[in-house]
Amino acid sequence: MNTLTVLATGPLALLQDHGRPGLGGQGVGRSGAADRGSHDLANRLVGNAPDAASIEIVFGGLNVRADHDLIVALTGAPAPATLDGTPVGHNAVLRMPAGSVLALATPRTGLRSYLAVRGGIAVAPVLGSRATDVLSGLGPPALTAGTVLPIAVPARALPILDQAAVWSPPAGAIVLRARRGPRASRVADDPFGRAWTASSRSDRIGIRLEGEPMRFVPDLPELPSEGVVRGALQVPPSGEPVLFLSDHPVTGGYPVIAVVISTDVDLAAQARPGQQIVFRDKS
């Protein structure tokens, strides 16, 4: 079987796909790529099914060696990349000859880049998915130097396309379209329009937002735990909200006051620590 060997990782590199939908009743969240659009695009560029596993790379730094001739694509946060020292394109189809090394620097904007390999990364799935869920501990461990990844035989033709023209994550404030959530009436303040700052204590579970704490409507009874979704803006007692990403808990007991629309959660997953986030009402 063809393989790709990890020589180095940046802060964090995980395998991701479309996750494990439908297991909420078992206490298992869906997980999967934090920026699904970028993950899907990487697969599309190399002719994979959209749910093939890719590598989700936080803040660049990944170095991989093709042990055989491979075709790969990089999407998401635009991390400057070189193939054996020569700069290569982003959102583009890249041919890696056997023995060549692809190296990623730190992205100029955004947080998460995706590397898809034609054929798909074929580690053993757990409950039908190769995604690493950092909350529940399901799925393969984080990639480390020396990890050898098996690559499956391609099942589909390569698309006739070398480069996709897509957005790059913005460097300034990130504006996310959201709708009023199920418990919007539990806070006295309007979540829309004010600026929050993404905390460095953010991860795939959620982005912790820093800013003027929201005030609760007083004297309401506690909420029994209820199901929460990716994109939910939950307000814990501190008043500083958490925006849930792919590895969010299945249920939670704090009020969800707004929910970011599905496509914009991808953009949220590109927010860097310190970056401003604003929610716009799209109810």
Name the residues that contact another protein, by CB under 8 A. Answer: 21-28, 30, 126-127, 136-138, 178-183, 224-229, 231-232, 249-252, 256, 259-263, 283
Residue closer to another protein (CB basis): 21 or 89: 21
Q: Which is nearer to another protein, 37 or 107 (CB)?
A: 37
Give 47 or 255: the residue with its C-beta nearer to another protein. 255
Three-state SS string over the chain comes to CEEEEEEECCCEEEEECCCCCCCHHHCCCCCCCCCHHHHHHHHHHCCCCCCCCEEEEECCCCEEEECCCEEEEEEECCCCEEECCEEECCCEEEEECCCCEEEECCCCCCCEEEEEECCCECCCCECCECCCCCCCCCCCCCCCCCCEEEECCCCCCCCCCCECCCCCCCCCCEEEEEEECCCHHHECCCCCCCEEEECCCCCCCEEEEECCCCCECCCCCCCCCEECCCCEEECCCCCCCEEECCCCCCEECCCEEEEECHHHHHHHCCCCCCCEEEEEECC
Which is nearer to another protein, 37 or 78 (by Cβ)?
37
Q: How far is the CB of 195 from another protein (least distance, A)?
A: 22
- Smallest distance from another protein to CB 257, Å: 11
Nearer to another protein, 28 or 77 (CB): 28
Rounded to the nearest whole angstrom, what is the least distance from the CB of residue 118 to another protein in the complex? 27
**CB nearer to another protein: pick between 88 and 135:** 135
CB of 265 to another protein, least distance (A): 9
Least Å distance between CB 53 and another protein? 18
- Report in angstroms how near the CB of residue 252 gets to another protein at its nearest: 8
